[in-house]
Structure 1
């Protein structure tokens, strides 16, 4: 989505940046994992196909993608390649044409190490929600999680998501967070430390 192509969101542990061609090689390496492809319902792609996919995501009007960086590594290596700081990605999908205020959040953590734990995720998700509220005007968020993935469900519940549906066909649970005034204040408190900075637009342009 071009709406977020010039935006960087900086938290204490997490940095969110637009998905650019610079990130594609590392992303491509991640997606060689059968487990990650299964979890994200993705097909194996060549590197060139991955670049094409990155361009389509950049242009897509109903998908907002951020690459997740480890803030500590990113700040230590400022001015160098972001590839070594990559941890995963987060997507916000506008899934309901009749309700532009509803978005589905999908988080993938691929570059896992000992520093990327629950505290990291508990900061990442509110940071992503903040982008959805302030940039996309979203007031409702849904997360669809596999029925056997209890740790992920517990994480989202800690962030005020509540179960609203179960699909036996897709074997997944849908959790939802509605941004009431109280929840909005909670989100602002959770993200009060976040800085929004301009991203280096136009670099490594391939599209």
Structure 2
């Protein structure tokens, strides 16, 4: 999405930056891990295909992605921990015209796990999309055996289970509107600084 191409969000535990070509090689290396692909529902891509995917994420209006960086000093590629994304679609309810943001987060680097970085990254992207894209419905789809993600979204972020797909062994959760307003509506302003990414 072009709207975030110059957006850098600095928060307490992480920094979010747009997905740039300089990030692709490390991202591709992460996605060579079979378990990461399984948990994220991703296909194995060649490096060339990964560069094409990065372009797609930058150009398409229905995809929003940020690379999650540590707060350490140094080269961005050395600070990369994972990514956080939104797939934006129209509501499946024909009576509603609103956009729905499907959230995905991956903290690929073990050194970034268990520190609240994923929680902060998801909170930032939801808050940013709520403010800048006027998205008021958010959901997530998680494989039933992904205990860390289930805990993150259900216990820490306040998402509620709405359905289960036995075919995909996947749980769908949605963020209640009152939780969006009370927590995420103000999270960005209270917990981060928006800078220009160069």
TM-score normalised to structure 1 length: 0.85
Cα displacement string for residues 158-198 of structure 1 (whole angstroms, at most 9, x for unaligned residues): 21111111111111111111333x64232245441200111
Runs of 4+ in 1 over 3 A off after TM superposition: 97-100, 188-191
- Secondary structure of residue in 1 paired with 2:110: coil
Instruction: Please report how far the alpha carbon of residue 109 of structure 1 lies from its aligned counterpart in structure 2 after TM superposition.
Output: 1.1
Matched, 1:42 2:39: no
Question: Counterparts in 2 of 1:120-131, with a 5 A limit?
Answer: 120-131=117-128
Mapped contact 1:163–1:173 kept (Cα < 8 A) = yes
Counterpart in 1 of 2:80? Answer: 86
Matched, 1:55 2:55: yes
- How far apart are the structure 2 equivalents of 1:41 and 1:154? 18
Counterpart in 1 of 2:150? Answer: 153
- How far apart are the structure 2 equivalents of 1:62 and 1:100? 13
Instruction: Please report how far the alpha carbon of residue 138 of structure 1 lies from its aligned counterpart in structure 2 after TM superposition.
Output: 0.8
Cα gap change, 1:197 to 1:61, in 2 (>3 Å): same
Report how many aligned residue pairs link the two structures: 192
Q: Which runs of 5+ in 1 are unaligned?
A: 201-207
1:109 corresponds, among 107, 110, 114, to: 107
- Secondary structure of residue in 2 paired with 1:45: coil
- Secondary structure of residue in 1 paired with 2:116: helix
Counterpart in 2 of 1:185? Answer: 182
- How far apart are the structure 2 equivalents of 1:183 and 1:89? 21
- How far apart are the structure 1 equivalents of 2:98 and 2:20? 25
TM-score normalised to structure 2 length: 0.89
Mapped contact 2:91–2:100 kept (Cα < 8 A) = no
Mapped contact 2:65–2:85 kept (Cα < 8 A) = yes
Cα gap change, 1:61 to 1:190, in 2 (>3 Å): closer
